[in-house]
Amino acid sequence: MHEMAVAESIVQIIQEKLGGLNPQAQVTKVNLKIGKLTCVEPEALRLSFQVMAKETRLEEAALCIDSVPVKAQCKDCHKHFGLTELDFACPFCESFRIEILAGRELQIESFEIE
Amino acid sequence: MKIQVLTDVLKVNQTVAQENQREFDKSRTLVLNVMSSPGAGKTLIIEKTLEKLGQELKFAAIEGDVATANDAERLAKYDIPVVQITTESFGGACHLDANMVREAASKLDLSSVDVLFIENIGNLICPAEYELGEHKRVIVLSVTEGEDKPTKYPVAFRNANVLLVNKVDLVDHLDLNMELLLQNSRKVNSNLDILQVSAKSGNGLDGWLDWIRKEVQLRKKKSGA
C-alpha cells in the first residue's frame, strides 16, 4: 500500500505550485497519467488521496486518472507493439529482448482551480 | 483555470536517490538493494555472505522492517556496522524510500566500506517503485514461492540485476518446475543474472560471492580507484 505515499507526494507537489496563485483558489481536479506497468492501484490511490487531501485546498479535488497502456519495441526485429498480457515477449519474433517505451508513467499532468 | 505541472510524482525520491548515490560513490562503496517476499531468505543470504567474505571485504548494512530489530541483531553478530530502519514510525510503510536511506546512511562511516547491503522490506510490490541510490538490485526468490512470481510481479523483476533462486535444497520435496521458473524470469527480464543457491546448505553460494567480488572491482574502477 504505497499509494498513501504516492498520494502524499501528489498533495505536496500541487501545494507547492499553489504557492504563487490566488490564495482563495480551490483545486477542483487533478489530472494524472499512470502507466499500467507501475504498482499503483487507482482505487487505492483515490482513497489515499481523500485522506491526504483533507483540510487542504485539494480537499474537493477529483482525481482524473489517465491509464497508459504498455508499449514496447523489440531490440531484435525493431517492431513496435503493445503489451496487454505483460508477457514481455515480442509478438513478431518472440524475442525477450524488448524495450519498454511507455507504461512506467506516474506523472501529474495538470490541475484545475476555481 | 488549468495549470500544467508535468512532474513525476516520485521525482523528489529520485532526486534524493541520486544524491545518495553520489555519496556512495565518494566512498567507492558498492550498494545493493536486496528485495524479496517476506521469508525468502534475504537475511540468511546476507549472513552467509558476511561469514564467507568478511575477511576479504568490509561490509555494512541497513535493515528495513516494519517492526522489530531482529534482523539487525542477526547481522550485528558479524561485527559490522548495522542501522535498523523500522517504518512503524513512518506509518508502517511497506517500502524503504531514499530519504529513510539517507538518514540511515548518515549514521554509518562508509569511508572504508566496500559493500553496503540495504535489506528492503519483504514485499515485491512497493519497493520496486522506489530507488534508494543503490548501484544494483538483488531479488531473492525462494523455490517454495512457485514458478510464477516473476510474471506476477513484473515490475520488481524487470528492474532487478541479479536473481538469487534460494532454498534449492528443498527442490526434491516440491512439485516445482525449475525450468519454467527460470524461463519466466528471463522472459520478464532478459538481462537478469540468475543464480541458484541454498543459503542453508551453502550450495551455489560461490557464484554469488564471485558476483559480489566482480561488482566491487567494477565499482572501484568506475570511481577511479
What pLDDT does B90 receive? 67
Using a CB–CB cut-off of 8 Å, the residues of A that contact B are 1-2, 4-6, 9-10, 12-14, 17, 21, 25, 32, 37-40, 86-89, 96-98, 100, 106-114
* Matching residue, cell 562503496: B29
Q: How far is CA B88 from the centre of its chain?
A: 20
Q: Is the pLDDT of residue B225 over 60?
A: no
B155 CB neighbours in chain A (<8 A) are 37-39
CB count within 10 Å of CB A22 equals: 10
Q: How confident is the model at residue B91 (pLDDT cuts 50, 70, 90)?
A: low
Give the residue on B whose Cα is nearest the Cα of A39: B125
Model confidence band, residue B88 (pLDDT cutoffs 50, 70, 90): confident
| pLDDT score at B94 | 87
What pTM did the predictor assign? 0.91
Say whether pLDDT at A26 is over 90: yes
Q: Do B186 and A96 touch (CB under 8 A)?
A: yes
Q: What class has domain B10-218?
A: alpha beta
Please report the pLDDT score of residue A1 as a whole number: 62
CA distance B96 to chain A (A): 10
- The Cα A112–Cα B6 span in angstroms is 13
* Residues of chain A contacting residue B154, judged by C-beta atoms under 8 Å apart: 37, 86, 88
Q: pLDDT per residue over B124-159, tens digit each? A: 998 999 999 999 999 999 999 999 999 999 999 999
Which residues of A fall within a CB distance of 8 Å from B7? 13, 107-108
Q: How many residue contacts between A and B have a Cβ separation below 8 Å?
A: 89
Which chain B residues are closer than 8 Å to A1 by Cβ?
94, 126
pLDDT, residue A85, reads: 73
- pLDDT > 60? residue B115: yes
pLDDT of residue B222: 81
In percent, the amount of chain A with pLDDT more than 90 equals: 81
Contacts of A23 (CB under 8 A, 6+ apart): none
State the average pLDDT over residues B94-123.
95
Give the mean pLDDT of B16-43: 97
Q: Stretch B2-25: mean pLDDT, rounded? A: 94
Q: What pLDDT does B73 receive?
A: 92
Highest-pLDDT range among B7-16, B148-157, B165-174: B165-174
* pLDDT above 90 (res B87): no
A47-71 b/e (C-beta count within 10 Å ≥ 16 → b): ebbeebbeebbbeebebeeeebebb
Span B99-117, average pLDDT: 96
Burial class, B155, CB count within 10 angstroms (exposed 0-12 / middle 13-18 / buried 19+) = buried
* Closest C-alpha to B57, from B6, B97, B113: B113
Helix (H, G, I), strand (E, B) or coil at B147: coil
Q: Where are the domains of chain B?
A: 10-218
Calpha distance B35→B121 (Å, rounded): 7
The residue-averaged pLDDT of A74-98 equals: 90
pLDDT in tens, B180-211: 999 999 999 999 999 999 999 999 999 999 99
8 Å CB contact of A110 and B3: yes
Task: Give the pLDDT confidence score for residue B75 in this predicted structure.
Answer: 94
How many helices (H) does chain B have, and how many strands (E)?
8, 8
Q: Report CB contact under 8 Å: B9, A21.
A: no
The yes-or-no verdict on residue A106 having pLDDT over 90 is yes
Confidence band of B71 (pLDDT split at 50, 70, 90) = very high
Residue showing cell 528495513? B64
- Give the nearest partner residue to B126 out of A25, A39, A107, using CB atoms: A39
Write the DSSP string, B58-116: -EEEEEEESS-SHHHHHHHTT---EEEEEGGGGTS-SS--HHHHHHHHTTS--TT-SEE
Copy the grid coordinates of residue A83: 503489451
Looking at every residue in chain B, the average pLDDT score rounds to 94
pLDDT score of A65 more than 80: yes
**B168, β-bridge pairs:** none
Yes or no, beta carbons of B129 and A38 under 8 Å apart: yes
Whether B83 has a pLDDT exceeding 80, the answer reads yes
**Contact between chains at B9 and A106 (C-beta distance less than 8 A):** yes
State the Cα–Cα distance between residues B123 and B136, nearest whole angstrom: 18
